[in-house]
Amino acid sequence: MKAIVIGSGIAGLASAIRLRKKGYELQVFETNNYTGGKLHAIKEKGYRFDMGPSLFTMPHLVDELFELHDIDPRKHFNYHRKSTVCNYFWEDNTRFTVPSDDEAFVSAAAERFDVSKEKLSSYLKRNKNKYDLTAGIFLNKSLHKWDTFLSLNTLKSLLQAYKLDLSSTLNEVNEGYFDNTKLVQLFNRYATYNGSSPYKTPGIMSLIPHLEMHFGTFYPEGGMHSISQSLHKLSDALGVQINLNEGVTKIMTENNRATGVLTTVGEYKADVIVSNMDIFSTYKRLLPRSNHPQKILDQERSSSALIFYWGIKDKFPELDLHNIFFSEDYPGEFAKLFEEKDLHNDPTVYVNITSKEDAADAPEGCENWFVMINAPGNFGQDWEQLKARARKNILMKLSRILNRDIEELIDFESVLEPITIEEKTSSHRGSLYGTSSNSKFSAFLRHANFSSRYKGLYFCGGSVHPGGGIPLCLLSAKIMTDLIPS
């Protein structure tokens, strides 16, 4: 049996690895000259930067791919758990470091934000309950197969759906728990983990902090890029053929069955076709004459990102791997993003510095700053003007809070905006997570991991079930391959 995977993002590589276990011969086709999709990296002037995702949680999902083939992952891929989750900064000089231990967090947050330990513990427990009620349904199985809903565990979860806060927004849930606006803002930030607004996404998303605080955050040795590259090497070792610089231009079908692909080089036949390409682009580019699931394709897309990669000629001991500098107008920031398709003049700024973990990522005495703000998708805005304005506002904010002139320390600079994200990854409008989760039905409205029209056609990655982000992309590969016969 032969299988073809379109795209070598992390879900595409994971799918190929899983299908090899099922005995399939595999070919992966990639438009770019590198694998990994958004998990890419650059090196310039002695600085190394991860280009895309910077948060690593649930590393066992990567280990599982090695263990599936009886290979010790520690011989090929290593990581360590962070004792600090994130550093938070506000304009009034309030600072807060989130420890990775739940009890330590409760104690530290209670003191910093003047809230009772009991209320914080209750909030975290409620988040855990949401995860326990939904993980078996949303994260491990297809939502588009009836047998998912016919189990006793699913029935128990559905009977307790009132605990999921589906009818409240994340902000409403957080404000219902806490009076301190800074603590509300801290927990509202987790909506951005799937490219959504805390003022629109349902309260069930409060389970996201549980994934980070309970399961922990990790740093992969060699940076985030090592995740995709370790899977690339594993694929090679398993005999997966990866064809770089060879994009797929069409999925061939016959009698309601996917039969192969047409690429920039030639035509290939297969029994199974897996698209790791954004679902919108899959239909519009590769299946242009097919009946499209237009309601799904018309859904609101997730936010994108504007990222500045700065080589900084100094060190900042007050910063760690993950750092957040909050906007003073959080509601206004998300209104700009999703309603006006614009950037707020006081954006929340995320700074990731991998040289805190690996000194080789920057020259001696320097740091590599990955500086990101949430951005709207690409709707034809003047991105040169937006980049210039954002750069000015970011520098002013960081300089103000850190009490240093950051611009004079910039030794190297590169920029990534939604247009380039869209071009390099085929993500419609440059969205980072496919569709947004700005509705209580969003989890059910994501495209299935299989085609209901074409037998042998399957889908994985952040634009289909269960969603975006490294853990969910890896789970999409697992859910999808479980549907494919050996």
pLDDT > 80? residue 159: no
Query: What is the distance between the alpha carbons of residues 10 and 477, in angstroms, rounded to a whole number?
Result: 9
pLDDT > 70? residue 144: no
Q: What are phi and psi of 204, to 5 degrees?
A: -60, -25
Model confidence over 333-385: pLDDT tens digits?
Answer: 999 999 999 999 999 999 999 999 999 999 999 999 999 999 999 999 999 99
Identity of residue 340? E
Q: Is the pTM of this model over 0.85?
A: yes
Cβ-based neighbours of 31, under 8 Å, separated by 6 or more? 7, 245, 246, 247, 248, 426
pLDDT for res 198: 97
Query: What is the distance between the alpha carbons of residues 189 and 92, in angstroms, rounded to a whole number?
Result: 19
Model confidence over 196-232: pLDDT tens digits?
Answer: 999 999 998 998 988 888 889 999 999 999 999 999 9
The beta-carbon contacts of 92-99 under 8 Å, at least 24 apart in sequence, are: 93/401, 94/182, 95/318, 96/182, 96/186, 97/320, 98/213
Query: What is the distance between the alpha carbons of residues 71 and 155, in angstroms, rounded to a whole number?
Result: 37
Among residues 212, 172, 168, the alpha carbon closest in space to that of 190 is found at: 212
pLDDT for res 169: 95
Query: What is the distance between the alpha carbons of residues 139 and 296, in angstroms, rounded to a whole number?
Result: 20
Model confidence over 278-333: pLDDT tens digits?
Answer: 999 999 999 998 889 888 888 899 999 999 999 999 999 999 999 999 999 999 99
Domains observed in the chain: 2-73+223-298+438-482 (3.50.50.60), 101-215 (no CATH)
- Supply 191's token pair: 């909506």
Cβ-based neighbours of 202, under 8 Å, separated by 6 or more? 164, 165, 166, 167, 168, 169, 170, 437, 439, 440, 442
pLDDT for res 22: 97
Cβ-based neighbours of 175, under 8 Å, separated by 6 or more? 184
pLDDT for res 133: 83
pLDDT > 80? residue 243: yes
- To which H or E segment does residue 189 belong? none
Cβ atoms of residues 91 and 108 within 8 Å: no
Higher pLDDT, 422 or 163: 422
Query: What is the distance between the alpha carbons of residues 367 and 312, in angstroms, rounded to a whole number?
Result: 5
Cis peptide before 466 (omega within 30 of 0): yes
Q: In what order do the strands lie in the sheet with 248-253?
A: 248-253, 258-263, 267-269
pLDDT band at 166 (very low <50, low <70, confident <90, very high): confident
**pLDDT, average across residues 437-454:** 84
Q: What are phi and psi of 43, to 5 degrees?
A: -130, 125
Query: What is the distance between the alpha carbons of residues 410 and 399, in angstroms, rounded to a whole number?
Result: 12
pLDDT for res 444: 63
- Supply 296's token pair: 């799904």
Q: What sign for the dihedral angle of Cα 195, 11, 207, 108?
A: negative
Query: What is the distance between the alpha carbons of residues 270 and 457, in angstroms, rounded to a whole number?
Result: 10
What's the chain's average pLDDT? 94
pLDDT for res 214: 83
pLDDT > 70? residue 152: no
